[in-house]
Amino acid sequence: MAERTNEDWLRELGNGAGPDSAALEDLRRTLARGLSFALRGHGNVGDDDVQDFVQVALLRILEKLDTFRGESRFTTWAQKVTVRVAYSELRRRRWRDVPLMAPSSESDDGFTPEVLRDREPGPEARAIQSSVAETLMATIRNELSERQQQALVAIRLQGMPITVVAEKMGTNPNALYKLLHDARKRLKARLLDAGVSASEILEAFEA
Instruction: Look at residue 141 and give its three-state secondary structure.
Output: helix
* pLDDT attached to residue 30: 93
* pLDDT attached to residue 205: 44
Question: Buried (b) or exposed (e) across 46-84, using 16+ Cβ within 10 A?
Answer: eeebbeebbeebbeebeeeeeebeeeeebbebbbebbbe
Long-range pairs for 167-176 at CB < 8 Å and ≥24 separation?
A: 167/92, 168/100, 169/100, 176/151
* pLDDT attached to residue 133: 67
Per-10-residue mean pLDDT of the chain, 207 residues long, equals 85 82 91 89 78 88 89 92 86 70 51 48 59 72 86 77 84 85 80 67 48
> Using an 8 Å Cβ cutoff, are 135 and 194 in contact?
yes
* pLDDT attached to residue 124: 58
Q: Report the candidate in 205, 185, 101, 177 with the shortest Cα–Cα distance to residue 139.
A: 185
Give the DSSP letter of residue 205: T
Instruction: Look at residue 45 and give its three-state secondary structure.
Output: coil
* pLDDT attached to residue 114: 47
* pLDDT attached to residue 80: 92
Residue 86 to residue 65: CA distance in whole angstroms: 19
What's the pTM value of the predicted model, to 2 decimals? Answer: 0.51
Domains, the chain, ordered by start? 6-95 (1.10.1740.10), 114-204 (1.10.10.10)
